[in-house]
């Protein structure tokens, strides 16, 4: 007898939080998996390079506690994708420590499987020598040996294959290193023999929690059901509803092509999908197609330290200065460069962000509006923290007292919201590896942690 497969997505990012009552409504259904995405590159390379989590331990533990205390006693597999935010070894171990705490505090026992996504420099160098490394897009330069050797932490996005294997081996909790966002969700359906196209499309919808509902949010729970020829999506909070429009709209989310989605080892073709309301608030989707690729590529991500940053946030109220702000900033920048003429300008850079004029889009801002006040953030990025802070201090003091034409007062041009005004941000990282690697799908090692708890 064919069985419908149900997957509960608590929220769009582990640690973002969700109403516990929404999650508990999901417990009323016969669930085959509780799956949550925990990672992203949206915040840039810093989390991967610095080895820190996207969310706090307190927030991650609060979400995991609800998931584990309800899922483990019911024998519902729990899958965490891209653990710790970036999915490297340090992030996975951080997540495992939290899980250990919860199991011990709750007196629970669970078989935990870890799927590592780390790749060594030697493995990537070998792939480069064999011609198996390709830029992700035309904007990404070829991967050079120097960049590989300067990058200590390299991960790859796993597909569903190792996750399905961990399910076959009877894991209660699966902690994945870096994963392609929909893959942990798709693995549940594929493990139970459901169509991979429907499984991956549903994974694409569920990975962001209730963002596919109206009103949309990543901080609420959603339920997905896979049948033999369709999947269903419904909100677990009566304050939100899924509609054909909201689910179809989320299908377009974070995609470079309207109906083609590339994943590790496959292409998802959504051109002929249909979205219809099965019952009120429940959307039925059909027509998703999974097309295996001729070559299996996985995305590599690596970050390396390139500089240090110090920044200042200030407000400007003088309409005369606001009217000529970019001109004064250029003069301040030139003054700092002249003062430090003994330091090569290749060792540092000075940037201004004028919020209220063009702080978000910069030179691409089509219409610059100047209100009665402007927030200014300026930063110095340099080879060392000391150099960044020294030059930033000079920029700040010069800007504060700069005597621009028409100035009415000499008391100061900048209003600082806090003291000290100069904030040492610390290390700055860049994506030094952001490439595709051809592989047969191997490289993701499964390790069984064993029983935990009392």
pLDDT tens profile 111-134: 999 999 999 999 999 999 999 999
Average pLDDT for the chain: 95
Contact 225, 3 (CB under 8 A): no
Whether the per-residue pLDDT at 310 is higher than 70: the answer is: yes
CB atoms within 10 A of CB 3: 13
The pLDDT confidence band at residue 450, using thresholds 50, 70 and 90, is low
Percent of all residues in the chain with a pLDDT value above 90, rounded to a whole number: 90
pLDDT digits (tens, 9 = 90+) for 10-63: 999 999 999 999 999 999 999 999 999 999 998 899 999 999 999 999 999 999
Task: For residue 35, give Cα distances in angstroms to 181, 245, 449.
Answer: 11, 24, 19
Q: Average pLDDT of 174-188?
A: 98
Domains assigned to the chain: 5-117+157-296+439-450 (no CATH), 304-432 (3.30.70)
Q: What is the mean pLDDT of residues 283-294?
A: 97
Q: What percent of the chain has pLDDT over 70?
A: 98
- Whole-number Å distance between alpha carbons of 43 and 431: 12
d(CA 111, CA 271): 40
Tell me, what's the pLDDT at 1? Answer: 44
pLDDT at 9 over 80: yes
pLDDT at residue 454 tops 60: no
Per-residue confidence (pLDDT) for residue 451, from 0 to 100: 57
């Amino acid at each position: 007898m064919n069985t419908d497969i149900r997957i509960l997505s608590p929220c769009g990012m582990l640690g973002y939080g969700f109403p516990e009552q929404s999650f508990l409504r999901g417990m009323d259904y016969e669930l085959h998996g509780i799956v949550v995405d925990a990672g992203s590159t949206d915040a840039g390379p810093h989390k991967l390079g610095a080895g820190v989590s996207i969310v706090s331990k307190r927030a991650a533990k609060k979400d995991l506690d609800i998931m584990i205390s309800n899922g483990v006693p019911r024998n519902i597999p729990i899958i965490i994708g891209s653990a710790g935010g970036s999915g490297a070894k340090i992030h996975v171990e951080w997540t495992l420590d939290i899980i250990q705490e919860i199991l011990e505090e709750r007196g629970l026992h669970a078989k935990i499987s870890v799927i590592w996504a780390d790749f060594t420099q030697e493995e990537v160098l070998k792939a480069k020598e064999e011609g198996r490394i390709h830029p992700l897009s035309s904007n990404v330069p070829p991967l050079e040996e120097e960049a590989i050797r300067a990058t200590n932490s390299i991960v790859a996005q796993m597909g569903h294959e190792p996750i399905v294997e961990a399910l076959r081996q009877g894991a209660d909790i699966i902690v994945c290193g870096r994963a392609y966002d929909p893959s942990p969700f798709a693995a549940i359906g594929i493990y139970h023999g459901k169509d991979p196209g429907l499984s991956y499309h549903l994974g694409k919808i569920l990975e962001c929690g209730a963002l596919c509902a109206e009103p949309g949010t990543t901080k609420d729970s959603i339920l997905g059901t896979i049948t033999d020829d369709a999947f269903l999506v419904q909100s677990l909070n009566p304050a939100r509803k899924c509609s054909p429009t909201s689910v179809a709209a989320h299908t377009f989310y974070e995609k470079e092509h309207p109906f083609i989605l590339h994943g590790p080892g496959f292409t998802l073709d959504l051109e002929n999908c249909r979205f219809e309301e099965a019952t009120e608030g429940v959307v039925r989707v059909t027509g998703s197609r999974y097309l295996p690729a001729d070559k299996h590529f996985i995305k590599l991500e690596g970050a390396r330290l390139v500089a240090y940053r110090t920044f200042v946030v200030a407000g400007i109220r003088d309409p005369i200065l606001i009217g000529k702000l970019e001109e004064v900033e250029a003069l301040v920048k030139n003054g700092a460069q002249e003062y430090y003429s003994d330091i090569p300008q290749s060792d540092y850079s000075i940037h201004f962000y004028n919020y209220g004029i063009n702080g978000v889009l910069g030179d691409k801002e089509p219409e610059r509006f100047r209100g009665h006040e402007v927030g200014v953030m300026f930063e110095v990025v340099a080879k060392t923290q000391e150099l960044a802070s020294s030059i930033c201090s000079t920029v700040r003091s010069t800007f504060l007292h700069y005597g621009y034409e028409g100035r009415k007062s000499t008391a100061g041009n900048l209003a600082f919201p806090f003291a000290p005004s100069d904030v040492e941000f610390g290390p700055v990282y860049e994506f030094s590896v952001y490439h595709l690697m051809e592989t047969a799908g191997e490289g993701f090692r499964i390790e069984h942690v064993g029983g935990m708890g009392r």
